[in-house]
Homo-oligomer: A and B are copies of this chain.
Amino acid sequence: MGSDERIPQLGVAMVGHSFMGAAHSQAWANAPRFFDLPLHPRMLVVAGRRPEAAAAAARKLGWEESETDWRKVLLRDDVDLVDVCTPGDTHCDIAVAALEAGKHVLCEKPLANSVAEAELMAATAERAAARGVRAMVGFTYRRVPAIALMRELVAEGRVGTVRQVRAQYLQDWIADEDAPMSWRLEKDKAGSGALGDIGAHVVDLAQFVTGERITGVSGLLETFVDERPLPGEAGALRGSAGEGRGKVTVDDAALFTARLSGGAVASFEATRFAYGRKNAIRLEVNGSAGSLAFDFEDMNVLHYYDATDDPRIAGFRRIYVTEPQHPYVGSWWPAGHGLGYEHGFVHQVVDLLRALGEDRQPEPSFADGLQVQRVLDAVERSSTAGSQWTEVPA
């Protein structure tokens, strides 16, 4: 679909096909329908452990074939890129193997569950790059048009020197203490809780939008509900109290303060316990010449305060980011027609394909993903050490 014979093709294999797999599939399918691209993605094969599920996913999501062993897709000559959409504990194995097999890699965030893994991945990616093999980590929110515009305006100096950042990711989907146990609440599988799952996004966004690096943090992690009913029959059938319940071993909320390389101070928060906040990614930047503010629950809007305006008529401007002058937007619909969550994934594919077409490094790199991992790690260590200020290794 959307194919044009005159454009070279890029064979894509995807590993994993649940939430992120569906979002990535949507991106691969839709990017060529709206954007002029130097490479045309061909959705060759999706890999998943259970054969029937993988086959159904291929059919539903538009992949030509399915496969149960991701290692086999690396052997295929027609596969040029591997898109890693599995849980975090398998990212390292798959991405490293793919890069070493000469395949470009797009890897979902967080890059890995540990700094050590992320370091291995970044080193592998750096070596691969020398051979023209590219790796990118999927911090897709960078491609929300309002956030991309926010970055542009900061880079142009519209807010001057950044002094303060306020970054929050607020959700409420496990605020109910009777919500069942899941692998996302177990440290050995998920790595961390709110911190890694959603905090990683706002760490990346704060660094992306300011163009600066977090250099140190003071963290505070908290688990509000430390035991939950096991899901399904297992939990329901067992009798006595305590039985049929699982132990939550990750953070429910993560708060931290930080300093950025350009001198700014920042506050961060990630929580899945803020009732009524469904997907509130909030980012505010205050600089020496103005401010910018964003909330994903109103994702097509950016608020901008220009401190050089006449005070009599100054005020935050509600920029409805749907004009042709705005990033990505002009390729979609006429002015005034807002985009949704999934469009960020399409833009991610567009940016990746353009970088590959021009043989340059796509962003964010695995090194960028590693840096986010180091920030999260420093937050955890600080939290364990009584919130002691903790430097983030460069």
Contact = CB atoms under 8 A, between A and B. Distances in A.
Contact of A275 (B172, B263, B290): B290
A313 B304 contact: yes
Interface in A18-51: 19, 22-23, 25-26, 29-30, 32-33, 43
A90 interface: no
A378 to B, nearest CB: 12
A173 to B, nearest CB: 7
Contacts of A30: 26, 29-30
Interface in A264-291: 265, 267, 269, 271, 273-279, 284, 286-291
Contact of A313 (B256, B273, B319): B319
Contact of A164 (B19, B29, B253, B278): B253
A161 to B, nearest CB: 9
Contacts of A301: 298
A176 B301 CA distance: 23
A312 B259 CA distance: 30
A269 B175 CA distance: 24
Contacts of A300: 297
A334 interface: yes
Interface string A311-342: 11111111110110110000011111111111
A124 to B, nearest CB: 31
A307 interface: yes
Interface size class of A (residues with CB under 8 A): 35 or more
A312 B338 contact: no
A2 interface: yes
Interface in A346-393: 382, 386-389
A1 interface: yes
A297 B305 CA distance: 16
A106 interface: no
Interface stretch (A216-224, A231-239, A242-250): A216-224
A176 B278 contact: no
Contacts of A339: 340-341
Contacts of A255: 257, 265, 267
B304 A315 contact: yes
A171 interface: yes
Nearest to A23: B333
Nearest to A3: B59
Interface string A146-184: 000100010000110001101010011101110000000
A4 B340 CA distance: 27
9 nearest A-B residue pairs (beta carbon): A276-B305, A340-B340, A279-B336, A278-B336, A218-B387, A315-B317, A1-B62, A337-B341, A315-B319
Given A311-B323, A314-B317, 17 more contacts: A19-B333, A25-B33, A29-B29, A30-B30, A153-B313, A158-B313, A172-B286, A218-B220, A220-B257, A222-B265, A274-B284, A277-B291, A278-B336, A310-B325, A316-B317, A337-B340, A386-B389
Interface of A: 1-4, 19, 22-23, 25-26, 29-30, 32-33, 43, 59-62, 149, 153, 158-159, 163-164, 166, 168, 171-173, 175-177, 218, 220, 222, 224, 253, 255-257, 259, 263, 265, 267, 269, 271, 273-279, 284, 286-291, 296-301, 303-307, 309-320, 322-323, 325-326, 332-343, 382, 386-389
6 contacts: A267-B269, A276-B307, A276-B316, A279-B336, A297-B336, A312-B323
